[in-house]
Amino acid sequence: MKESAKYKHSSYTPAKQMVWRKSITSHMAICKAIWEKYPKWKLSYRIFDLFAGPGIDPDGQMGSWRIALDIYDNDPIDRFRLELYECDPVQLDCLKRSIPDQHKRKIGVKPYDHRYLDVIYPDRLLSKSVYGIQYHDPSNADLSISTMKRLHTCYPHVDIMVNLAFATMKRIDKAPHANLDYSIDEIMEVKKRWFIREPMGKHQWSMLMGTDWDTPEAFASWEYVGWAHTASALGIEWLDRCRLTVKERIHNGQPSLF
Ligand SMILES: C[S@@+](CC[C@H](N)C(=O)[O-])C[C@H]1O[C@@H](n2cnc3c(N)ncnc32)[C@H](O)[C@@H]1O
């Protein structure tokens, strides 16, 4: 495992966790409303946390999947499940120890590996009754577009959330021996509708959230948590900052905001 891929807590982490908490709270609430409308469909809610981390960080703060569990505890949704993936044995061990006994049956834990994921989610698997989120929160820009696409093929109603340092991503992508197998445009081809958060700091930390739902009003509450639709003026501006280098922005006649 590359050193850069290991679990790290940065000054951006608390902001990220706050956005994750608020966004998942509202996402679960939207899904609960669907459950109530169609009780016979026996829909289920699943979070695929592909870069799960320890659950409780060294400062005692909750990480992504523990936050999701906390939201569930406060306002349970039927047929809730967490699928956790973590490749670092040290973090995996912390993760296993952080799982509360009463939730063990709701949580699947796997050492993450792309080939292994292909076995778990074969091409023929298709489940339209599962809603939820596939969450990609890599330490570096170590995202796998094939994993994202495969999960989307198997679970088309599961939305996608990505947390990335876009400056890092662009830097790696422009490096002579770049090995990024994805671009923002490719990510955005996976779902129909995307939301974005304002890039923060010199690393340009930002989040993308993709869905196929055609009900923008369902996501109206997200704007209060700082999300903008990528077709809105604000969304286009934030997306350009994430997608283009300063040089490219100047070349396009856009002012540099950094
Ligand atoms: C930024 S942390 C994510 C933490 C978690 N989402 C949270 O909010 O608490 C990234 C995690 O992904 C793990 N990781 C790094 N590369 C990975 C890979 N290729 N596959 C799976 N996990 C990976 C790291 O060990 C680390 O725990």
Helix (H) or strand (E) holding 29: helix 13-37
Is pTM beyond 0.75? Reply is yes
Return the higher-pLDDT residue of 18 and 4: 18
In a domain, 180, yes or no: yes
pLDDT mean over 224-249: 89
Residue 151, both tokens:
């999960």
Q: Total domain count for the chain?
A: 1
Ligand 1 atom 18, closest CA: 87
In a domain, 7, yes or no: no
Average pLDDT taken over every residue of the chain: 88
In a domain, 258, yes or no: no
In a domain, 150, yes or no: yes
In a domain, 161, yes or no: yes
Q: Does residue 258 surpass a pLDDT of 60?
A: no
Q: Whole domain around residue 25: which residue ranges?
A: 12-251
Confidence of residue 252 (pLDDT cuts 50, 70, 90): confident
Encode pLDDT of 216-225 as tens digits.
Answer: 677 777 887 8
**Residue type at 59?**
D
The CATH number of the domain holding residue 74 is: 3.40.50.150
Return the higher-pLDDT residue of 1 and 45: 45
Q: How many Å apart are CA 5 and CA 1, to the nearest integer?
A: 7
Q: Provide, rounded to the nearest whole percent, the portion of the chain with pLDDT above 90.
A: 61
Ligand 1 atom 1, closest CA: 139
Q: How far is the CA of 138 from the centre of ligand 1 (A)?
A: 5
Encode pLDDT of 64-121 as tens digits.
Answer: 999 999 999 999 999 999 999 998 999 999 999 999 999 999 999 988 776 667 667 7
Ligand 1 atom 9, closest CA: 63
- Angle, CA of 215, 232 and 243, to the nearest 5°: 115
Give start and end residues of each alpha helix (H) in 75-176: 89-98, 114-120, 145-154, 166-174
Confidence of residue 158 (pLDDT cuts 50, 70, 90): very high
Sheet strands side by side (includes 130-136): 107-110, 80-85, 44-49, 130-136, 158-165, 205-211, 193-197, 227-229
Ligand 1 pocket, residue 91 CB under 6 Å: yes
In a domain, 6, yes or no: no
Confidence of residue 157 (pLDDT cuts 50, 70, 90): very high
Helix (H) or strand (E) holding 233: helix 233-243
Return the higher-pLDDT residue of 48 and 253: 48
> Rounded to 5 degrees, what are φ and ψ at 179?
-130, 25
